[in-house]
Amino acid sequence: MVTKTVDLRSDTVTKPTELMRAAMANAEVDDDVLGSDPTTFRLEAEVAKIMGKEAGLFVPSGTMGNLISVLVHCDIRGSEVILGDNSHVHIFENGGIATLGGVHPRTVKNNDDGTMNIELIEAAIRNPSWELVYPTTRLICLENSHANSGGRCLSVEYTDKVGELAKKHDLKLHIDGARIFNAATALGVPVDRLVQPADSVSVCLSKGLGAPVGSVIVGSKSFITKARRLRKTLGGGMRQNGVLCAAALVALQENVGKLDEDHKKAKVLAEGLNQIKGLRVNVTAVETNIIFIDIVEGSKITGEKLCKNLGEHGVLVMPETSSRIRIVMHHQISASDVQYTLLCFQQAFAGVPDENGN
Ligand X SMILES: Cc1ncc(COP(=O)(O)O)c(C=O)c1O
- The binding site for ligand X (CB under 6 A) comprises 61-63, 66, 88, 143, 147, 176, 178, 204
Residue of minimal CB distance from ligand X?
Answer: 62
Amino acid at 357: G
Of 11 and 349, which CB lies nearer to ligand X in the complex structure? Answer: 11
Buried b (16+ CB within 10 A) or exposed e, 333-357: beeebbebbbebbeebbeebeeeee
Amino acid identity, position 169: H
Least separation in angstroms between residue 304's CB and ligand X is 21
- If the CB atoms of residues 62 and 236 are measured against ligand X, the closer one turns out to be 62
Least distance (Å) from ligand X to the CB of residue 289? 11
CB of 238 to ligand X, least distance (A): 15
Cα torsion angle, 88, 92, 98, 100, sign: negative
The CB-of-16 to ligand X minimum distance in angstroms stands at 16
| Count, residues in the chain | 358
Other beta carbons within 10 angstroms of residue 196's beta carbon come to 15
Residue 126 or 207: which CB sits closer to ligand X? Answer: 207
Cβ proximity to ligand X: between 126 and 330 the closer is 330
Q: Classify 163 as helix, strand or coil.
A: helix
- Cβ atoms of 94 and 152 closer than 8 Å: no
Please report, to the nearest 10 degrees, the dihedral formed by the alpha carbons of residues 259, 263, 266, 268 taken in order.
-130
Minimum CB–partner distance for residue 177 and ligand X (Å) = 8
* CB nearer to ligand X: pick between 17 and 289: 289
CA distances from 290 to 30, 153, 300 (A): 38, 11, 25
C-beta of 147 vs 344, nearer to ligand X: 147
Residue of 248, 251, 216 whose CA lies nearest to 39: 248
Residue 152 CB, nearest approach to ligand X (Å): 12
